[in-house]
Amino acid sequence: FQHGALSGKRVFITAGPTREPLDPVRFISNHSSGKMGYALAEAAADAGADVRLISGPVNLPSPPRVECVQVESAEQMLAASLDGVEQCDIFIAAAAVADYRPVAVAEHKIKKGSEEIMELRLIKNPDIVATVAGLERQRPFTVGFAAETRDVLEYARSKLERKGLDLIIANDVSNPDIGFNSDDNAVTLVSTATTLTLPLGPKRLLARQLIDQIAEHFHRKSQR
Ligand code: C5P
């Protein structure tokens, strides 16, 4: 692990789930623990980067020497991600952003009615990492994640292309030993020209290897 590999670089990392409110007391969310994003933030800070962690609600302590911005919804996460992005060198999207949010947020608590079936209308959330990767001026080196249950590499490659990313970190979430909530993970790093598999290991070790790889790809691209 290379100390100083990211010295002087500004890194933004999104982490955790988002919460999409339905009314003042309810929301739609997911089981993301935020562990991978927090581990990446710590590893990036250890590599000398100036790190801003943009996090949905999680039960993790803020990593030392990392600026934390707490958000709830995908729209808040997008706004926090774009705020100051002109100064950002590397953007890493590790958050599990809700794909959809309720069309309307009720002002008051929704009351139980007599009907047996209740329908919710949802609208697509903005794609944060694709928005950042699509910036025309001052676009940071952009890294995304792809959690898949089958055809992991094919889906990862198509996501890399579709979202316009520099790198994508693919993980197979069909294996319960890795991914969501687990302390371990195994991933494959995919760029347009390369693939590299990092075997099963603790997320904190993996985060260090990922930050090394991201730094290398970033520096290689900046030299071109
Ligand atoms: O398309 P999918 O959700 O599988 O893509 C995952 C990647 O895209 C992750 O890096 C995730 O953080 C990012 N993403 C995002 N905004 C969304 C959905 C996903 O930044 N609305």
Q: Select which of 30, 59, 125, 181 is catalytic.
A: 30
Would you state the pLDDT for residue 3? 76
Does 175 qualify as catalytic in the annotation?
A: no
| Nearest atom, ligand 1, residue 131 CA | 20
Per-residue confidence (pLDDT) for residue 179, from 0 to 100: 62
Residue nearest to atom 5 of ligand 1 (CA): 146
Out of 14, 28, 145, mutate this one to test ligand 1's pocket (max ligand atoms within 8 Å of CB): namely 145
Contact of 213 with 1, CB cutoff 8 Å: no
What whole-number distance in Å separates Cα of residue 88 and Cα of residue 102? 31
- Where do we find the tokens 């970190």? 169
Q: Residues within the annotated binding site for CTP?
A: 99, 109, 126-129, 145, 159, 163
| Closest Cα to atom 4 of ligand 1 | 146
Which regions in the chain score pLDDT beneath 70? 1-2, 179-180
Question: Which residues are documented as binding site?
Answer: 99, 109, 126-129, 145, 159, 163
pLDDT of residue 174: 86
Retrieve residue 67's tokens: 């600026």
pLDDT at 175: 80
Ligand 1 pocket test: pick from 14, 90, 124, 129 the residue with the most ligand atoms within 8 Å of its Cβ.
129
> Can you list the domains of the chain with their CATH numbers?
10-103+119-223 (3.40.50.10300)
By alpha-carbon position, which residue is closest to atom 2 of ligand 1?
Answer: 146
145-169 confidence digits (pLDDT tens) = 999 999 999 999 999 999 999 999 9
* Mutation probe of ligand 1 site: the residue of 54, 82, 97 with most atoms within 8 A of C-beta: 97
Is the reported ipTM for this assembly greater than 0.95? yes
Q: How far is the CA of 128 from the centre of ligand 1 (A)?
A: 7
Amino acid at residue number 31: H
| The pLDDT of residue 180 | 67
Query: What is the dihedral angle through the alpha carbons of 199, 201, 205, 210, rounded to the nearest 10 degrees?
Result: 30
Residue 163 structure tokens: 């979202």
- φ and ψ at 25, to 5 degrees? -120, 0
Atom of ligand 1 nearest to the CA of 125: 21
Calpha distance 38→14 (Å, rounded): 9
In this structure, the residues whose C-beta lies within 6 A of any atom of ligand 1 are 14, 74, 93, 95, 97, 125, 127-129, 144-146, 159
The pLDDT assigned to 91 comes to 98
